[in-house]
Amino acid sequence: MENARSSEFLNPKFGRQYVANGLSNIPGAFFVYCSNGEEELLYANKELLKIFECETGEQFLELSEGHFKGLVHPDDIHAARTSIRRQLESGNDNLDHLYYRVITRTGKVKSVVEFGRLFRDPEHGEVFYVFLVDVQSKRQNFDIDKLTGLPGMRSFIESSDIMLKTAEISTGTKDHSLIFFDIANFKYYYINFGVSVGDKILQSVANLLTKYFHNNYIFRFSDDHFVVVTEAEGLEEKIRAFHDAAMELRKDDKILVKAGIFHIGDSKLSPVAACDLAKAACDEVINGEVDYYRFYTDELRKKLERKKYIIDNLDKAISENYIQVYYQSIIRSASGQICGKEALARWNDPNYGLLSPAEFIPQLEEAKLLYKLDLRIVELALADYQTRVDTGEPVINFSVNISRYDFVQCDMVREIADRVKAAGMPPELLTVEITETVQGMDPDFLKEQIRRFHEAGFKVWMDDFGSGFSTLNLLQDFDFDLIKLDIDFMKDFGRNRKNPIILKKLIELADELGVETLAEGVETEEQVRFLKEIGCTKIQGYYFSIPHPFTARTEISKGGEALEYEDYKTIANRIWKTESGKSFAYNQSIDYDYFKLNTYRDIPVPFALYRVILNEKGNEVIDTEYVYVNQKYCEMSGKSRDELVGRRFSEEYPDTGADWFPYCYRAAILGEEINDTIFSRETQLWLNFTIAPTSVQGYCAYTFLNIDRQYKEYELFERAGITDKTILNIVEQLNSRKPYQETMNAILEEIGNVIHPDRLYILETDGKTVNNTFEWCAEGVEPFIDALQNVPYEGYLDVWQEALGDQDSFVIENIESYRENNPQIYEILKMQNITSIIEAPLYDNDRIIGYLGADNYQENEELDTRRMLETVAHFIAKQITNYQLMKQLEFATEHDLLTGVENRYALKRVTANLEKTDSSVGIVFIDLNGLKETNDQLGHKAGDKLIGDSAEFLKRFFGAEAVFRTGGDEFNILLPDMKEETFRETEARFQQELKNSSLNMAVGFEWCPCARNLTASIAAADKKMYRNKAEYYTLHDRRKSNKKKKADT
C-alpha cells in the first residue's frame, strides 16, 4: 500500500479495491470523488498527479486537501459546480466537456476538460468517475493564420467555451458580446490590385483589431471575416474607432468594414451559434460607410424566422395554392391599349397573411429556390391563358420574371418551353423578363440562353434597366428585345432636372439599336405624356392598373379611360411605330472602304485582324489569315509581325483553331460582336477578348486582355471561401447532440454529397489491427466495411504511413503511377477497385489512430478537397478520442479490469432489467476456495492469477456475457431464457468439468421460473453457495487436523 501511495492518492477504504481492479493502469488522468458533502477524493492515478506536477500522493493530498474543490481554480469552482448540476438535471449521468482551470504544485495555471459519470456506490453513495484532459497538451497552436498571426476558425470552435469562462473571470462580468466583421467588397481589391495588396489590407485590418480590442479574443475566419469576443461596455465606441481607422488605410479606395454584434450575456447558445447570429446581423448591413454595424435583435430574429419559414414552406405554399398570380397591365403608348400583362407572384399565407414580394423573393433567390416560384407562376399564367381561350376573353402577351439563379438550378429554356407547348399556347405570347443582375453571369452562357429563348419563339426583355452598373455594356453585349427602365426613373421625375434628359437619351439610344423600351412605375398623366413624346414604346404603372388577380372586368385608368385590349395578331404591324409614325429600324453597317491601321497600331492592348477562310458550303470557318497584328499582340504571342502577317492561323497553331474559328464565323459572317473569356492554349493564359465584324465583308478584328493573374487569384479566393463554408457546415454536425454513430454517419454523408466519391470511410487502428468503423457508399457501390475488420496493421496501414511521410495527407490521383514505384500500395488499392484515393490521417496528439479516406472521388473545382478533408479529419479524430474516453469510462465503471468480466454495477443493471420480464433465469453463485491461503502463502500475484484463471474457466463454459465478478473471490452467473431441464444438464456438466480442472470453487445453483421473483432466487443461490463453501472448509479443516496429528505422531 505504501508503494502505491508514493505515486498516487488512494483513500484507504477504496485502495485495495482500486489496485485490484487495475485502475492504476488506465491511460490518461483519472480520479474518483464523492458527489455529496465535502466532495472527498477517493482515488487519483499517476497521470492525474502528473497534470498537477506532483511526484507523490502526499504532495497531491497536500495540494488538494483531499477534496474536489482543492483541484479546481478558486475562480472556476462555482462555474464548474453549476455546470455539473445543470448536466445532471438534464437526466443524464454523464458529464461531457466540463471546462475549468487548475493550479499545479509549481503555481502554473492549466485549462482542463472533464469527462465524467455518476455512479451509486453501496458504501460511499454517489461518486463521480472522471477522466481529465490537459487542454494545453492538445496542439492549440495548430490553427494559426500565417498571414495575420491570429488564431483561426478551428481554434475558435475548440476553445470557445474556455475562452468565455476566462473572459468572465478576467473582466468580472458575463456581459460579453461577439462581433462578426466583414470587409465589404473585398474581392474588388484582390481582382483589381492583386493578392499582395489584398494580403496587406488583411494584415492592416488585423493589426487595427488588435489595437482597438487589445484585451479581447480575436480570430480570423475565412477570407475577409474576423471574429472578436469582447466585453459589452464601450463596445460601440470601439467599433466606431476601429471603423474610422480602417477607412483611413487607403485614401483612394476606402476600406469599409461591416460588423454584426450578438450580445452573449446569459445566453445558453454555444459560441459557434452566437457567431452565426452575429454574422446574420452583419449581413443586414448594406452601406458599410455610414451604416456599418448592426445588433442581433429580437426584431432581426423574427425576420430570420420569417425567412426560414418562407424557405421551409415554399413547396407547401405551391401545393396548397398559397402562391397566386397577379397581373399588371402593360400599355402600348402608340395606341393606349393593353398590349400585355406582367405575371407577378403573390403569397397569401394562412399564418402571415399576404406576404410582400419584397420579403419572399430575395429570400428564395438567396436560397436558390426562386426557380420553383418562377416556374409555378408560368404554370398559373398558362392556366389563365387557357381560361381566356375557353371563355372568349381577349388573348394577349404576358411576361414572366426569371432570376439569374434560375438558370443555375435548371434548364429554364426547356422547362418553360415544355410547359408552353403542353398548354398549346403560341410561344410569341410569352415574354421572359431577366433582371439586370445578369451582369454577374457568364456572358457567353447568358447569350446562349437568350439565343435559345429566341429560337423557341419567345421574346426576352431586360428588367430594371438602369438600376445597377454597366448598363450600356449590357445593351452592347446582349440581344434583348426590350429594356424596362427602372422604376426609380419615374420616382425622380419632376424632382431632378437631369432625369428627363437621361430618359430621353436612353430611349433614343435604344431606338437606334432597334430595342423597344418600357417605363414602369408610371403614376401621373404628366409622366404618360412625356414618355409618349420621347418615343417610349410601352408604359406600365399604377396610373393604368394595379396588380390584380385574373379578372374579366374592364380596367379604368386614373384618367377615367376604359382600357381596351389589343389584338395580338396586329402587334407585329405596329411594333416599330410610335404616334408620329417614326420608324426605329436600325442599320448598323458603316461604309469604310479601308482599315485605318495607324489607329490599330496605337491600341494599348493586343489587337489582330483576320481574313476568314470558309468551307465550300460557306457555313463554317476552316482557317483564318493574319492581315494585321499590333506590337502588343506580338509581345503576347512571342512572335514577330513578319512571322504572323500573311500566314494562316493553322500554320502557327495547328491544334487550337477549333477554339477560335466559331467566333470568327459569328463575327465576320453573321455580323455579331462577341465578348468572352477563354483559356488560350497558344499562350497558356486566361484571356478576355472581344471580336467584332469590320467594314469589309469576310474580315474580323480581335482585341485581347490578359486576365490570367486576376482570374487565377479570384478563383483561389472563391475556392478558399467555399472550402471554409463547407468545413463549417460539417463541423456543425459534430456540435449536434445526436448519438455518436448517427453523428459520424451524418458527417460522412455531408462530405460524400460534396466530393461524390464511390466510398468514404473511417479506418481506426490500435497499431496492431485495422477496423473500418464507418462507411458511406454512393448509390450502386457495394459496401466494403465487413471485409475490413481486424485487418493486420502490418502490410496495410503501415504502407500508408510510409507514403504519408511528413505530409498532412496523401493523394493518389491515378494508381497506375504506383504500379512500379510502390507495388504494395498498388495491389491493396487494385483489390478494392480503387483508381484514385485521398487519405487524411486522424491524430490523437502525435499518434495516428486512423484515417479518413475517399475512394474514386470527384475533384471539385470550387472546393479545395484536400484541405477540407485534412481539416475535417482533425475534428473527427477529436470526436473519436472523446468517444473512446467515454467508452473507457463506461468500461471501467461496469467491468472488472483484472478479469475483463462485468462487475457488480453491471449485475445490478442487468438484474433490474430482467425483473421487468417473465423470463426464466438460471442462476449460479460461485466463491473461489482457498484464495486467502494463496495470497498469504504465495503472494497477491499468485492470488490474482487464480482469480484470472477462474474467470477464464467460467467465461469458456458460460460465455463472457453471462459472468459477473461481484467481489474479491465471488462470481455470479445469470442465464436468461433457460429452461429448467437445460439448466440441470448445465449444472451437471459444470460440476464434472470443475472436478476435472485444478480449480476449487464453492457453487450454488438455482433455477428461477419467473424473473419477477429474481431477488428471492438470487438469495437462494447465495445460500446454496455458502452451504457448499461450509462443506469445503469443514472437510478442508478436518484434513488439516488429520495431517497435524500424523505429523505429531
What DSSP letter does each residue of 277-333 carry, written as one string?
A: HHHHHHHT---SSSS-EEE--HHHHHHHHHHHHHHHHHHHHHHTT-EEEEEEEEEET
The mean pLDDT value of the chain amounts to 81
Q: Is the pLDDT of residue 574 over 60?
A: no
> Hey, is 905 helix, strand or coil?
helix
What DSSP letter does each residue of 725-778 carry, written as one string?
A: HHHHHHHHHHTS-S-HHHHHHHHHHHHHHHH--SEEEEEEE-SSEEEEEEEEE-
The pLDDT confidence band at residue 471, using thresholds 50, 70 and 90, is low
Domain spanning 329-574 has what CATH number?
Answer: 3.20.20.450
Which pLDDT score is estimated for 392? 78
Answer with the residue of higher pLDDT: 314 or 968. Answer: 314
pLDDT per residue as tens digits for the range 715-730: 555 555 666 677 777 7
Nearest to 764 by CA among 772, 756, 755: 772
Distance, CA of 263 to CA of 278 (rounded, Å): 9
Q: Is the pLDDT of residue 164 over 70?
A: no
Distance, CA of 387 to CA of 325 (rounded, Å): 14
Domain spanning 713-882 has what CATH number?
Answer: 3.30.450.40
The pLDDT confidence band at residue 576, using thresholds 50, 70 and 90, is very low
Answer with the residue of higher pLDDT: 680 or 48. Answer: 48
All cell numbers assigned to 102: 487548475
Distance, CA of 2 to CA of 19 (rounded, Å): 12
Answer with the residue of higher pLDDT: 467 or 886. Answer: 886
* CATH class of segment(s) 150-296: alpha beta
**Which residues, including other chains, have CB under 8 Å from residue 571's CB and lie 6 or more apart?**
339, 397
Q: Is the pLDDT of residue 775 over 80?
A: yes
Q: Is the pLDDT of residue 602 over 50?
A: no
Answer with the residue of higher pLDDT: 793 or 472. Answer: 793
pLDDT per residue as tens digits for the range 382-432: 999 888 888 878 788 899 999 888 888 899 999 999 999 999 888 888 999
Indicate the DSSP class of residue 596. Answer: -
Residue 970 one-letter amino acid: E
Beta strands 607-614 and 621-629, pairing class: antiparallel
What DSSP letter does each residue of 217-241 carry, written as one string?
A: EEEE-STTEEEEEEESTTHHHHHHH
Q: Is the pLDDT of residue 755 over 60?
A: yes
Helix (H) or strand (E) holding 376: helix 370-391
Q: Is the pLDDT of residue 990 over 70?
A: yes
Q: Which of 79-83, 263-267, 747-751, 920-924 has the highest mean pLDDT?
A: 920-924
The residues spanned by each domain of the chain are 2-137, 150-296, 329-574, 597-706, 713-882, 895-1048
Residue 341 one-letter amino acid: K
Domain spanning 597-706 has what CATH number?
Answer: 3.30.450.20
Calculate Rg over the CA atoms of the chain. Answer: 40
Which pLDDT score is estimated for 1024? 93
> Hey, is 212 helix, strand or coil?
helix
Which pLDDT score is estimated for 441? 67
Distance, CA of 1001 to CA of 924 (rounded, Å): 12
Percent of the chain residues past pLDDT 70, beyond the cut: 83
Beta strands 674-680 and 621-629, pairing class: unpaired
Q: Pick left, alpha or beta for residue 458 (phi over 0 → left; psi -120 to 50 → alpha; otherwise beta).
A: beta
Q: How many other C-beta atoms lie within 10 A of the C-beta of residue 492?
A: 13
Which pLDDT score is estimated for 588? 27
Burial (CB < 10 A; 0-12, 13-18, 19+), residue 248, is exposed
CB-based contact 38:65 (threshold 8 Å): no
How far apart, in Å, do the first and last CA atoms of the chain sit? 42
Which pLDDT score is estimated for 702? 87
pLDDT per residue as tens digits for the range 320-363: 999 999 999 999 887 788 889 999 999 999 988 988 888 899 88
Q: What is the pTM of this model?
A: 0.44
Of 124-138, 209-223, 826-840, the range with the lowest mean pLDDT is 124-138
Answer with the residue of higher pLDDT: 174 or 1015. Answer: 1015
Per-residue HEC secondary structure of 1006-1021 comes to EEECCHHHHHHHHHHH
Task: CATH number for 2-137: choose from 3.40.190.10, 3.40.50.150, 3.30.450.20, 3.50.50.60.
Answer: 3.30.450.20
**Which residues, including other chains, have CB under 8 Å from residue 911's CB and lie 6 or more apart?**
974, 1014, 1015, 1018
Q: Is the pLDDT of residue 805 over 50?
A: yes
Percent of the chain residues past pLDDT 90, beyond the cut: 29
Domain spanning 895-1048 has what CATH number?
Answer: 3.30.70.270
Helix (H) or strand (E) holding 501: helix 498-513
Which pLDDT score is estimated for 82? 78
Distance, CA of 994 to CA of 989 (rounded, Å): 9
pLDDT per residue as tens digits for the range 98-108: 777 889 999 88
pLDDT per residue as tens digits for the range 607-662: 889 999 999 888 999 999 998 888 778 888 888 888 898 899 998 888 888 888 99
**Which residues, including other chains, have CB under 8 Å from residue 336's CB and lie 6 or more apart?**
561, 563
The answer to whether 329-574 and 713-882 have equal CATH topology is no
Distance, CA of 758 to CA of 776 (rounded, Å): 8
Distance, CA of 141 to CA of 139 (rounded, Å): 5
Which pLDDT score is estimated for 858? 80
Distance, CA of 915 to CA of 409 (rounded, Å): 59
The pLDDT confidence band at residue 981, using thresholds 50, 70 and 90, is very high
